[in-house]
Structure 1
Amino acid sequence: MKTAKLIVMYPTPTDVAIFERRYANEHVPMAVEKLAGKTRFVASLITSSPGNGQTPYHRIAEVYFPSMRDLEECLSSPGGQETAAHAVEISSGGAPVFLMAEAETFDF
């Protein structure tokens, strides 16, 4: 069954320690509380890229929803707008990239 997910890719911050502190202490709790309808939240710390080792992204967050409609409703809600604005505010290395995707999961 297809679900939907919001992907937020954060560029490498100007100060990693400050970003990580704000991400863990402010942003993640806000996302957990205010993103209505979510079913799963995955926060990945990017450590390297195969081949060259460097990547333009420091973190990638994936927030899953039962459907694209649920995701869109969340993003248009006051909680979704506040959380997206906070993501932009804490992203000191440049604006984060926001993507919406259909997701299919294959477990092995």
Structure 2
Amino acid sequence: MAQLVVMYKTPKDPAAFDKHYFATHVPLAKRTPGLRKYEVSKGPVGTPAGPSAYHLIALLHYDDVAAIQQAMASAEGKAAVADLQNFATGGVDILIFDTRAV
């Protein structure tokens, strides 16, 4: 499996972020080809030392990194990426990697 991890920094208006994210962005992202599972953080995102700079973390699961790249190159993936400017006012970090059990 592989993961696309999207880490949304605290937005200017958290309520507006949440409304747009769940009503508009999630449905866009769920249409990306090859998506196996979509998870988001629940409640505050913290660190062992306390609060973090992140408002929400999304974990999108695909078969492999090639599947993530294909999803992002698709029309649905491009629409989801373009939508970030509509709500991610605090900034966003995106990571892509393969996973393995240890």
- Return the TM-score normalized by structure 1: 0.84
Q: Is the counterpart of residue 99 in structure 1 residue 95 in structure 2?
A: yes
1:26 is aligned to 2:24: yes
Structure 2: how far apart are the matches of 1:105 and 1:88?
Answer: 35
1:85 aligns with 2:78: no
Identity in percent: 29
Distance 1:99 1:9 in 2: 8
CA distance in 2, matches of 1:68, 1:30: 20
In the alignment, structure 1 segments of 5+ residues that lack a partner are: none
Secondary structure of 1:6's counterpart equals strand
**Which structure 1 residue ranges, 4+ long, deviate > 3 Å from structure 2?**
none
Structure 2: which 5+ residue stretches go unaligned? Answer: none
Match of 1:61 among 58, 61, 64: 58
Which residue number corresponds to residue 70 of structure 1?
67
Q: Describe the SS at the equivalent of 1:9.
A: strand
- Supply the RMSD in Å over aligned alpha carbons: 1.5
